[in-house]
Amino acid sequence: GAVVSQHPSRVICKSGTSVKIECRSLDFQATTMFWYRQFPKQSLMLMATSNEGSKATYEQGVEKDKFLINHASLTLSTLTVTSAHPEDSSFYICSARDPRTQTQYFGPGTRLLVL
Amino acid sequence: LAKTTQPISMDSYEGQEVNITCSHNNIATNDYITWYQQFPSQGPRFIIQGYKTKVTNEVASLFIPADRKSSTLSLPRVSLSDTAVYYCLVGPPGTGKLIFGQGTTLQVKP
């Protein structure tokens, strides 16, 4: 199937700093990508929809100023967690829809730990 | 977006066939049904997708009755490595927005 990558796979940062996570679709172009967050023993929670060339659409309860999303090209979306705090520690997963099959593929995830 | 209901957990033994059923009573006419597998600390992996009747690929089969209000993922001859969480999702193929339910934790025992 199609491949979606994320970088970094794991990041540890100090409280108050910002962290950027990249999501790339490697063999297809994606006008739309999605960002999810997953806490231990819980399901994935959709945070936002990233639209190439336009503003992201955030789900209810997700702070757009805290989780900045940039979808500057058809193969790259970035999520920046600004002024991170320990409660932002989580597993962040992106996905992209392959237009050839209409199937959504997920990245391997990024483990964020805020100290 | 249609809500799905799955059993929270299932146990099986190596070599057995496992069937996981998902209920989606409010599925819309243009919704597809997609199943994903997730291992700990990994992103979900696409397993299979279908609209009606039966779909089969190299890893699983998906059975969808005529009313489409449920679907069953069938895993033939499971192994220990199939221990994972399985998610059933429904939605139109064009939007791509997928809302995850709680999934089914499958535990395969030796």
User: Could you tell me the pLDDT band of residue B3, with boundaries at 50, 70 and 90?
Assistant: confident
Collect all residues from A whose CB is shorter than 8 A from any CB in B.
Answer: 1, 4, 6, 32, 34, 36, 43-46, 49, 91, 93, 95, 97, 102-109, 111
User: Could you tell me the pLDDT band of residue B1, with boundaries at 50, 70 and 90?
Assistant: low
* Per-residue pLDDT, A68: 96
- Between A1 and B30, the higher pLDDT residue: B30
**pLDDT reading at B11 higher than 70:** yes
Contact A36, A23 (CB under 8 A): no
Contact A71, A77 (CB under 8 A): yes
- Residues of chain B contacting A40 with CB distance shorter than 8 Å: none
Distances (CA, A) of A107 to A115, B11, B29, B33: 25, 28, 29, 20
Q: Token pair of B9, please? A: 């957990």
Yes or no, beta carbons of B96 and A97 under 8 Å apart = yes
Read off the pLDDT of each residue in A39-52 and give the average, rounded to a whole number. Answer: 93
3-state secondary structure B59-109: CCEEEECCCCCEEEEEECCCCHHHCEEEEEEEECCCCCCCCCCCCEEEEEE
Which of A43, A91, A93 shows the shortest C-beta gap to B101? A43
- Between A102 and B60, the higher pLDDT residue: B60
Q: Which helix (H) or strand (E) holds A83?
A: none
Distance CA A27, CA A12 (A): 29
pLDDT digits (tens, 9 = 90+) for A103-115: 899 999 999 999 9
The percent of residues above 70 in pLDDT, for chain B, comes to 95
* Per-residue pLDDT, A13: 96
Q: Token pair of B107, please? A: 């535990």
User: Could you tell me the pLDDT band of residue B95, with boundaries at 50, 70 and 90?
Assistant: low
Q: Token pair of B95, please? A: 């939007």
* Per-residue pLDDT, B23: 96
pLDDT digits (tens, 9 = 90+) for B21-67: 999 999 999 899 999 999 999 999 999 999 999 999 999 999 999 99
* Per-residue pLDDT, A1: 63
* Secondary-structure breakdown of chain B: helix, strand, coil percentages, each rounded to the nearest 5: 5, 50, 50
* Per-residue pLDDT, A51: 87
Lowest mean pLDDT among A5-14, A58-67, B95-104: B95-104
- Between chain A and chain B, the number of residue pairs with CB atoms below 8 A apart is 56
| Mean pLDDT computed over every residue of chain A | 94
